[in-house]
A and B are shown apart, each in its own frame.
Chain A
């Protein structure tokens, strides 16, 4: 009796573990045709295995919609990657950078400052999209602890099935198709958007509503300090940027900007606010945005990338790696993939 109990329990336990493994693979969101930004974090590791990157962009949607690594390579021979995800908060960026440094040490880290306005965890959904894709390391553990909202549990990050189990009644063919293997949705972390939705004149006329206090939260500024220290400790140049937007919905206040200018000045960092350089870049808000001026589309992103690439090369000495045959081989594939996806997207539109 005892022997039968032990054997049957062991067999059933094994069956249970395997069943739960496949159930998890089936039930977690695939982030392919819906919310592809949720797949960005995980795609980095394969790219880091392929080749090293001299520039890492970190930040929220304003980086993965504004900088096209394929264009940077094509025009300047700069090997770069975008480690951005939707509403990626400063501590997410810090831990993603710490995570990336386990694989490579770039020459420059470009950090988009918009997320500095958030001092507290914001949304469970965005936490999941940023953190779930991270490979397990101390950085992921710390990222979960720093990011989780009141309702979230650490255990649900260890076993995502505990979070996504209720998707069983909303499964689609995509869940089955990409259960064990998912296609790459980004191009070196850049997410192609080919739609054009011009900023409405009314939208452009509205300014951000006044705030009671313009001081950037001390929590987010503390993480900016940590990013800077991490860069200093690894001999990496930290460059601050603010991507161009033209919408009150993501208003960047002058008072915030002044604090960044001050911070950059005190810490000897370069800071580029591209909102002020829209004309020089050549951005046309009737053509270069897919959502009325909140984010750039691929046409705007290519212009901005070309513009900023010159700065990276001339002002920050990021080398041209076209001569590196191994790297060139990798990048020619990535450039080809980017243009192929671009063509496909345009055709679908």
Chain B
């Protein structure tokens, strides 16, 4: 069930109505039923996969929690009989047992994700190698369908069990309540990857009906549809034409960098706005996933503002544990001895950074383009860090140049936007050599610029002048609204101003209905991040 179908609208309407009609203590069951319906509507065969994740992580979390309590109980009972060393040894042994359970369930769940998502890619790579070495054999590649939202719910569930193992969150006793945390329907398709400690209390609280939640939720949903259906899907027409057309290089590659940024921003942030708005209708506030990413002055800053919950997941559950792991400690020691303190200290961190970005790329999709995308992001961040002393010198020499203000601030934001956009086109083409060839053509295919001025770009790409005018106007509206969201979200501000709220909602509905790219001839059902 996609966000852009009437059945989704009907599901939300029915769920909200039932939620507030039922007694508070059982309101969460409405959310669970809605989540099951939402998931089953996407294809009944998906259910066993998400059920497997729910069951295995629930059992493991309960086991880890019980083992930890038993160990604590045992120590408190035998505190007098055990020496400090014995207690330490017992704790280590118990931790090892809990760790074994954790590792087993992580291997199982990441295994399911790996098999379903990466089998085809891996076997195709094997076949490529076999062919390169002249072997006349090919391994058959099974055509596996990816379960709906598997990357998102696997991360949510594994994040939860790691938190339980670390003692950061309590293990949920009721499997159905836990099933709701994993499958909460607004989060299934594209996140955010919420943490149990923040989401679960809101899910089970039985929130009261509050006017500001309903008004803020409605506005945020409409705002999301506006960004997705009116902006992203309109810009997508030109993007698709460049990708599928022949010879659209040079100026067209630059067009792609800019327009695909508009598409992915509208599509992903629009989808997240709808998610946030739907959750808000039930009184649930999810963590923000975006904080004006295109105003970032550096790559590092960009990744702190874009898909925030994914970034923090990788940081908390991969980068930090890897950086402080024993093997990395040994490597640091060895590098420091052999390469000196400076580079010896940095090298392991850089290795952890590159591994994290490699896996971030792989998480986005099973393809070389995603792997290269991840690695390039990692390299850019590392190069930026290496150049930091140079930046510092530069700013010392030109103290008036402030990255947060004035023309230099705009320059930094535009530079980051173009840099990130250039890397992002790996996602468009899905083909690494073609992406590099297209990007490179910007610097020598100057003949293509004439198409911008003689009107050929309009006929070649199928996006009319008025559509560009609309896109420019709509993008400006988004720009100014998000600029004013620094302190408080627009939906929260408007929920206190009923007249303005009603006018804004009316205007948004009108614009979505008239200017939205939906219906015959459009394919607005698919959100780009659904595929991840």
Contact = CB atoms under 8 A, between A and B. Distances in A.
A12 B505 contact: yes
A296 to B, nearest CB: 32
A16 B506 contact: yes
B515 A19 contact: no
B191 to A, nearest CB: 29
A89 B141 CA distance: 44
Contacts of B522: 166
B501 A5 contact: yes
Contacts of A5: 211, 215, 498, 501-502
A171 to B, nearest CB: 10
B514 interface: yes
Given A151-B520, A169-B467, A8 B498 contact: yes
B499 A19 contact: no
Nearest to B504: A12
Contacts of A162: 513, 518-519
A163 B520 contact: yes
A112 B354 CA distance: 72
Interface string B491-528: 00000001101110110011001111111111000000
A163 B464 CA distance: 19
Interface string B1-25: 0000010000000000000000000
B171 to A, nearest CB: 42
A11 interface: yes
B466 interface: yes
Contact of A13 (B499, B506, B517, B521): B506
A207 interface: no
A4 interface: yes
Interface string B462-473: 001011001000
B503 A12 contact: yes
Contact of A16 (B501, B509, B517): B509
Nearest to B215: A5
B510 A12 contact: no
Contact of B514 (A13, A23, A152): A23
A20 B464 CA distance: 23
Interface string B104-139: 000000000000000000000000000000000000
Interface string A68-109: 000000000000000000000000000000000000000000
Interface in A94-145: 124
B498 A1 contact: yes
Contact of B498 (A4, A15, A16, A168): A4
Contacts of B505: 12
Nearest to B496: A1
A11 B510 CA distance: 15
A212 interface: no
A153 B510 CA distance: 20
A169 B464 contact: yes
Contact of A2 (B6, B211, B470, B518): B211
A20 B513 CA distance: 9
A9 B501 CA distance: 8
B462 to A, nearest CB: 12
A155 interface: yes
Nearest to A124: B520
A316 interface: no
Interface in A1-52: 1-2, 4-5, 8-9, 11-13, 15-16, 19-20, 23, 27
A33 B190 CA distance: 47
B135 to A, nearest CB: 43
A13 B498 CA distance: 13
A5 B499 CA distance: 6
Interface string B389-428: 0000000000000000000000000000000000000000
Nearest to B514: A165
A296 B110 CA distance: 69
Contacts of A12: 502-503, 505-506
Contacts of A19: 510
A55 interface: no
Contact of A8 (B6, B464, B499): B499
A224 interface: no
A243 interface: no
A259 interface: no
Contacts of B515: 165, 168
A161 B499 contact: no
A345 interface: no
Contacts of B516: 165
Nearest to B466: A169
A151 B520 CA distance: 6
A156 interface: yes
Contact of B502 (A9, A155, A163, A170): A9
A4 B505 CA distance: 15
20 contacts: A1-B498, A2-B211, A5-B211, A5-B498, A8-B503, A11-B502, A12-B505, A13-B506, A16-B506, A16-B509, A16-B510, A19-B510, A23-B514, A27-B514, A153-B6, A161-B513, A165-B519, A168-B515, A169-B464, A169-B466
Interface of B: 6, 211, 215, 464, 466-467, 470, 498-499, 501-503, 505-506, 509-510, 513-522
Given A16-B509, A23-B514, 14 more contacts: A5-B498, A8-B501, A11-B502, A12-B506, A16-B506, A19-B510, A23-B510, A162-B513, A165-B514, A165-B515, A166-B521, A168-B466, A168-B515, A170-B464
